[in-house]
A and B are shown apart, each in its own frame.
Chain A
Amino acid sequence: MLKYLCKRILWMIPILLGAIVIVFSLIYIAPGNTSAILLGDSATPETIAALDAELGLDQPFLVQLGRYLKNLVLHFDLGMSYRTRRPVMTEILTRLPNTLKLSLLAIVLATLIGVVTGIISAVKQYKMADTVATGVALIGVSMPPFWLGLLLILAFAVGLGWLPSTVVKGNWKSWIMPTITLGTAVAGIIMRMTRSSMLDVIRQDYVRTARSKGQIEFKVIMRHEFRNALIPIITVIGVQFGSLMAGAVLCENIFAINGIGKLLVDSINKKDYPCVMGAVIFIAAICTVINLLVDILYSFIDPRIKSTYKGVKKKADDDESEDEDEEDADEE
């Protein structure tokens, strides 16, 4: 297990370096002369050349990339924002709490709604509740999140006047609409995954065994079905957390939340490239770490996976391990 963990953590390094190189190269080819933009009206060929030299923009690509990587790895320095002249890392870290708060609220909401409706849907397959839930989930998935945000503003801010249309500090109510906006699509995805994963498990022999030995229905659903259906659900929640961080870009712009996403879009519009790069790389790094955590989480949920890492065939000493053999014979 430890060996696997180390390998997995080490593998993150080339992934992140590669991501940085891709983002850096993309920004490098971005149109427009940065120094000219920075200097604005006062730009002359001489001042542009001087500023180029000062920012190191006259150096070859590889030199610039090398310097960027060196600063990032050694000092966690993402460069200086052209706009505010403050370190990009500071700009990001001051906004991180807002983005994290929004993403966490949204993923909690999405997980709660998605898992519960998914389980109900699978248990009541083809019944009324299932049809309604799958239909609503598909609408949730198909609805552009920013449009949902606008609809919520129309209904609850403009129409009814119950909720503020922008996030105000210290007002918890103002977070309700952003959370729903960001969480709905993910709730739909989690619901669909929970349902199909549960349906895979629900017809297994060990479920029938549990039921026929007189187990309470709720326990059958939670201990025998849900627990064995968890792996794909956890995976999808992990993956979705990444896209949530990206979706926060939109949500923050609609509800004027001062987070990393708003920083990113503002920076693109102002051609503040170090900030753009910093924000993208920062979010990519968070997503990579979350993926790692999800992988580690697997082994805690599913003893079968842990035992494969140990390299030792773990003997059946609890309920779940017995299921292992039956898992192979799942063709109906």
Chain B
Amino acid sequence: MPMKNNTKEKKNGLWAEAWRRLRKNRMAMIALVVLILMVLCAVFAPLVAPYDYTAQDLENKFVYPCLAHPFGTDNLGRDIFSRVIYGSRISLQVGLIAVSIAVVVGGTLGAIAAFYPKLDNIIMRFMDIFMAIPSLLMAIAITSALGSGTRNLMIAVGLSSMPQYARIMRASVLTVKDQEFIEAASSIGASSFRTIVLHILPNAFAPLLVQATLGVGNAIMSAATLSFLGLGIQPPTPEWGSLLSTGRNFIRQFWPMTIFPGLAIMLVVYALNILGDGLRDALDPRLKN
């Protein structure tokens, strides 16, 4: 390690060390670059997309991929490439917000369960019940209760994956809570609030971050699944799942509508899985050499 990094190392050891190890993982770095590019595409969609995603051109429908339309055009002559780019806005947003809901709700419940043994049993038994229903079914039940739409989709996907975050957070806090540096912090007079916020939570957060990275991929996939079944985001909004659901109707005549939105989902989930695996390896102290 170069000397100039030493001060930072001391202050933020775990994360700086993890970042150093992550940087050595070539696949994870490629995945990170792919993800950053995709996020940029989503943010600057109006600049990246060659056409308006709603612009219909009935003279040019079902055009196969060519220079003017890299992914072809759909049944209404809309440019599929532009629709996939705009779709990334919705799909990535749904994935990120759904996981944030799951992390905040699940993480809080898990942390409470770990800190207050009296509530532990109640919260974790409730999670057991929640987990008895497979998460896709839970998401389906929640969307049928709340109705379709982007916001409800985020809530459904987020809540249905929440128990796993609660479990991870609880286990993680329980491990950290009993370690010596926590005892040291309290013994030099740190308030319990300070101990929790400054010492326990940052150290318990690593497993949650790994799970969340992998979770965004799963959330994008669940959201696409629900939309594909007609329970999430409805056409003509260009969410990837609903693009596929429309494409499916034309599967016998025109393949590009089925191929490209699915490729986009796969690329993003694949990248997130590799990054998540890389993060886990980077943050797992047992692998430290």
Contacts and interface: CB of A to CB of B under 8 A. Distances in A.
A276 B140 CA distance: 9
Contact of A150 (B129, B133, B258, B274): B258
A150 B256 CA distance: 12
A73 interface: no
B283 interface: no
A138 B270 contact: yes
Contacts of B265: 144, 147
B266 A280 contact: no
B251 A158 contact: yes
Interface residues of B, number: 42
B244 A147 contact: yes
Interface stretch (B7-15, B93-101, B226-234): B226-234
Q: Which of A26, A154, A243 has the most CB of B within 10 A?
A: A26
Nearest to A331: B286
Contact of A250 (B125, B146, B225): B225
A146 B258 CA distance: 11
Contacts of A26: 141-142, 144-145
B103 interface: no
A249 B137 contact: yes
A247 B139 CA distance: 12
Interface in A139-153: 139, 141-147, 150-151, 153
A269 B143 CA distance: 12
A283 B270 contact: no
B141 A280 contact: yes
A242 interface: yes
Contacts of A269: 230
B262 A280 contact: no
Contacts of B146: 30-31
Nearest to A159: B255
B274 to A, nearest CB: 7
Given A146-B228, A268-B144, A22 B133 contact: yes
A274 B237 CA distance: 30
Interface string A230-246: 00000000000011011
Interface string A24-42: 0011011100000000000
Interface stretch (A13-21, A54-62, A296-304, A306-314): A13-21
Interface of A: 14-16, 18-19, 22-23, 26-27, 29-31, 138-139, 141-147, 150-151, 153-154, 158, 242-243, 245-247, 249-250, 253-254, 264-265, 268-269, 276, 280, 283-284, 287-288
Interface of B: 125-126, 128-130, 132-137, 140-142, 144-147, 217, 221, 224-225, 228-231, 241, 244, 247-248, 251-252, 255, 258-259, 262, 265-266, 269-270, 273-274
